[in-house]
Amino acid sequence: METTERVVEAYVRYVKGWATIPNVKCAGQYEIDLIAIDPVSLSRYHIEVGVHIASGFKSLTARPFSATALKERVQGPAQRRTLGFYLERKFGPREVRDKLKEYGFEENSYGRVIVSWGWTEEAAEQAQAAGVQLWDFRTLLKEMANLVIGAKRQYFPDDTLRTLHLFCRASTEESQESGTEANS
């Protein structure tokens, strides 16, 4: 499981309060990054994570997807940053839909989510038209930081939240110490 997927899973569990199953293997070498169920409403979600920070690849785009170009070394990375890639290769394959059915996900009765480091306006419009929610990874991190900052004395057994908590605590103490030094 990639680090960004762990962060998203921690967000879904601790901020949203949903139950999760990560890295669900499907036939045909497909994999679902995360499935989640809201225990209150029983809403179900298929979540895919694609977070990149390189300037040319960080935003999800609405450029046309080509399965042929995906196989080319030079064009593959850009193809994986298109909405079409997610619709065709992550949400669309029969193998993925069949695996979701095993978990009680009925066709067209669950949410589809892509987590990205931003997106183009055109991609947002196309995602909405396709019934796909877009979550910005930066926003998730900020919401989690607010959660752990507000729990200064709480211990988090989850490694991802614990690391974020330690980082926030170190940043806060460093800021306070440099403020104290400035006042001396």
Is 53 within a domain?
Answer: yes
Is 147 within a domain?
Answer: yes
Q: What is the rounded CA–CA span in Å between residue 48 and residue 39?
A: 20
Specify the DSSP element, H or E, that contains 22: strand 19-25
Is 107 within a domain?
Answer: yes
Residue 49 region, left (φ>0) first, then alpha (ψ -120 to 50), else beta?
beta
Is 184 within a domain?
Answer: no
Is 90 within a domain?
Answer: yes
Could you give the dihedral angle defined by the CA atoms of residues 24, 29, 30 and 33, in that order, rounded to the nearest 10 degrees?
40
CATH of the domain at 15: 3.40.1350.10
Domain count, the chain: 1
The string of DSSP letters for 111-125 reads EEEEEES-B-HHHHH
Range of the domain at 102: 3-154
Helix (H, G, I), strand (E, B) or coil at 39: coil
Is 161 within a domain?
Answer: no
- Could you list the pLDDT tens digit for every one of the 184 residues in the chain? 788 999 999 999 989 999 999 999 999 999 999 999 999 999 999 999 998 877 767 899 999 888 888 888 888 888 888 999 999 999 999 999 999 999 999 988 999 999 999 999 999 999 999 999 999 999 999 898 887 767 667 777 888 888 888 888 788 777 667 665 555 5
Beta strands in 40-158 (DSSP E): 44-50, 111-116, 132-136
Is 74 within a domain?
Answer: yes
Residue 113 region, left (φ>0) first, then alpha (ψ -120 to 50), else beta?
beta
Is 167 within a domain?
Answer: no
